[in-house]
Amino acid sequence: MHQREIHNVVILTGAGISAESGLATFRGPDGLWEGHRIEDVATPEAFARDPDLVQAFYDARRARLKAVEPNSAHQALARLEAEWPGKLLLVTQNVDDLHERAGAAGVLHMHGQLTSAWCLACDHRVPWTKDLADNPPCPVCNVSGSLRPDIVWFGEMPYQMDRIDAALRDADLFVSIGTSGAVYPAAGFVQTARYCGAQTLEINLEPSLGSVYFQKSRTGPASALVPAWVEEMLAGN
Ligand code: BJW
């Protein structure tokens, strides 16, 4: 991979990059869904059926953010974003705030954020760090019980797909870090980028479901592999 040939970079991250910070992944042996069937918490239908269960699930995860810190992989990507001389888009499927807390400025959260709430009454999104289970009023319209987690659930459209698609089509390099490739449309980004001429690299603890689509693959923990890769990128190797 020679820097001379690479100007536009798109990076996709998933739960694996936050695993070493202490946030559970979704599909690992101790995955997030253990004890919760995915359809009980991550669909709009589940929220309509049992809002208390869903709010409690996301309240617990929002509270957990306060107990964890970004790791060396988040920090390395923030450094790359700041120092890369070309264009770089950091897209995350994660709803945690660890990229931002590591210093990344322009993170695109395609599946939403735990630190945001969406009012179904007035349609505003507001920064949110507390619980939602006690049905607080919306700070914009004052309606109680109208706030839901600003999270993209199954069957809902991920955020800013037009912007992501344009960046993928323009990319010289697409890198996927810490994601299983089980959830679309993110799992299809490698094919779009590659079809449009990008080099493709996967960094994951183990080969993902979509590993075969990547030209290069590095397996191991993100905390070690991502800083090493960033050093190479900034050194022009
Ligand atoms: C490490 C590591 C370490 C561990 N270092 N690595 C049939 C076929 C195809 C598609 C569909 C279908 N039926 C329905 C669909 C669509 C559906 C879908 O994909 N379903 C699948 C189950 C098949 N997708 C949707 O509904 C999406 N919307 C949609 O498609 O809209 C229509 C549309 C059409 C066309 C264009 C655009 C849109 C919405 C998906 C919403 C996903 N939401 C969730 C939960 C909400 C957020 C939350 O609660 O947190 O988002 S699901 C969950 O999975 C979460 C994650 O962001 C997402 C991806 O998981 P991720 O990050 O990959 O985590 P894991 O756990 O799976 O993997 C972790 C990896 O890290 C593993 O590989 C480990 O090895 C590795 N790892 N430690 C490096 N230290």
Is the link from the previous residue into 137 a cis peptide, with omega within 30 of 0?
no
The answer to whether residue 4 scores a pLDDT higher than 60 is no
Ligand 1 atom closest to Cα of residue 187: 19
Rounded CA gap, 195 and 225, in Å?
26
Instruction: Report pLDDT digits (tens) over 61-74.
Output: 999 999 999 999 99
Exposure of 230 in the CB half-sphere (CA atoms within 13 A): 22
Which sign, positive or negative, has the C-alpha torsion 102, 103, 104, 107?
Answer: positive
Question: For residue 205, what are the CA distances in angstroms to 19, 50, 109, 191, 202?
Answer: 10, 35, 22, 21, 10
Contact 29 CB / ligand 1 (< 6 Å): no
111 given a catalytic annotation = yes
Instruction: Report pLDDT digits (tens) over 180-212.
Output: 999 999 999 999 999 999 999 999 999 999 999
Q: Ligand 1 centre from 76 Cα, in Å?
A: 23
Rounded CA gap, 125 and 190, in Å?
30
The answer to whether residue 90 scores a pLDDT higher than 50 is yes
- Whole-prediction pTM value? 0.96
Contact 184 CB / ligand 1 (< 6 Å): yes
Residue nearest to atom 7 of ligand 1 (CA): 184
Angle between helices 222-235 and 72-83 (to 10 degrees): 20
List the one residue out of 156, 216, 205, 199 whose CA is nearest residue 179.
205
Length of the chain: 237
Rounded CA gap, 29 and 196, in Å?
36
Rounded CA gap, 65 and 23, in Å?
8
pLDDT of residue 39: 67
Rounded CA gap, 49 and 237, in Å?
53
Arithmetic mean of pLDDT, 219-232 = 98
237, 230 Cβ separation under 8 angstroms: no
The answer to whether residue 13 scores a pLDDT higher than 80 is yes
Question: For residue 186, what are the CA distances in angstroms to 140, 142, 181, 232?
Answer: 32, 35, 7, 25
Q: Ligand 1 centre from 158 Cα, in Å?
A: 11
196, 30 Cβ separation under 8 angstroms: no
Arithmetic mean of pLDDT, 7-27 = 95
Residue whose token pair is 């289970």: 133
Which sign, positive or negative, has the C-alpha torsion 50, 56, 61, 65?
Answer: positive
List the one residue out of 23, 1, 39 whose CA is nearest residue 93.
23
Encoded tokens for 153: 């659930």
pLDDT of residue 52: 93
The answer to whether residue 29 scores a pLDDT higher than 80 is no
DSSP state, residue 154: T
Instruction: Report pLDDT digits (tens) over 33-86.
Output: 656 776 678 899 999 999 999 999 999 999 999 999 999 999 999 999 999 999
DSSP state, residue 207: -
